[in-house]
Structure 1
Amino acid sequence: MGGYKKGNGPVVKIIFSKIAKRDLKHIYNYIKQDSVRYAILEKEKLKTAIDKLYFQPDLGKVFPKFNDERYRELIHSHYSIIYKIESSKQILILSIHHHARLLSNNPAFSDDDE
């Protein structure tokens, strides 16, 4: 997907699904058990990676679980940031998935609606 204008401000709006918000909270809480400092740093790094999508919505590679170029995966450290390009002006963050977890257990990819 191309055709995005580059300018001074963000190109798209980024929305977090309930599952993605929960994922970010779980990541923070898990790391916080050992270090609040590192939990804050990891959360900031994930948000910085996601912020790149404001200007480059198609930065991530096509997510192989779906046969649809709108679904993408941005790799950051041990995480896959899985998102959907909903339109030329909006991205939905579906999930922030740790690579050690089974993708089949991720509720973002169940057949049930949120």
Structure 2
Amino acid sequence: MNIEFSESAIYDLEDIIIYYTEQQVPLVGESVISAIIAHIETLPANPKIGRQVPEFAMSSIRELIHSPFRIVYVLNDTNIQIIRVWRSERLMQLP
């Protein structure tokens, strides 16, 4: 099963890097991104490990929690599309 990143997920990851760079701890940002990517890379082995996103009543929209982030993805028969990497305290918005 392939993993794809939507444009919005890429922007979210870039925003994380920018935030930590602005806080003058860019190495922390790099570490956070590396850990998020490592978490995402576990999905092909067990794509249904993430729970259904409570805000949406669709079994294909799932999330992994990587505190303080929610990694939201859409699961179909052939791939996993990462659609958001969103801070958990924010109201979820799909692209």
Shifted more, 92-101 versus 13-22: the winner is 92-101
1:81 counterpart residue number: 71
Tell me by how many angstroms 1:28 deviates: 1.0
Partner of 2:61: 71
Q: 1:27-59: per-residue Cα shift (whole Å, max 9, x none)?
A: 111012221110110010110111110211111
1:97 alignment partner in structure 2: 86
State the one-letter code of the partner of 1:18.
E
The secondary structure found in structure 2 opposite 1:48 is helix
Residue 5 of structure 1: aligned partner:
none
Distance in 2, Cα, partners of 1:94 & 1:67: 16
SS of residue matched to 2:58: coil
How far apart, in 1, do the equivalents of 2:61 and 2:89 lie? Answer: 21
Q: What amino acid is the match of 1:101?
A: R
Deviation per residue, 1:46-93 (Å, 9 max, x gap): 101111102111110011122121110110010000001022x20111
**CA separation of 1:83 and 1:107: change in aligned 2, threshold 3 A:** closer
Amino acid at match of 1:96: V
List structure 1 runs of 4+ shifted beyond 4 angstroms: none
Q: Could you list the runs of 5+ residues in structure 2 that have no partner in the other structure?
A: none
CA RMSD of aligned residues (A): 1.2
Against the structure 1 CA distance between its residues 19 and 58, is the aligned structure 2 distance closer, same or farther, given a 3 Å change threshold? same
Q: 1-side partners of 2:94 and 2:61: how far apart?
A: 16
Unpaired runs of 5+ residues, structure 1, are 1-11, 109-114
Partner residue, 1:6: none
Quick check: which has more Rg, 1 or 2? Answer: 1
Residue of structure 1 equivalent to 2:25: 35
- Scaled by the length of structure 2, the TM-score of the pair is 0.91
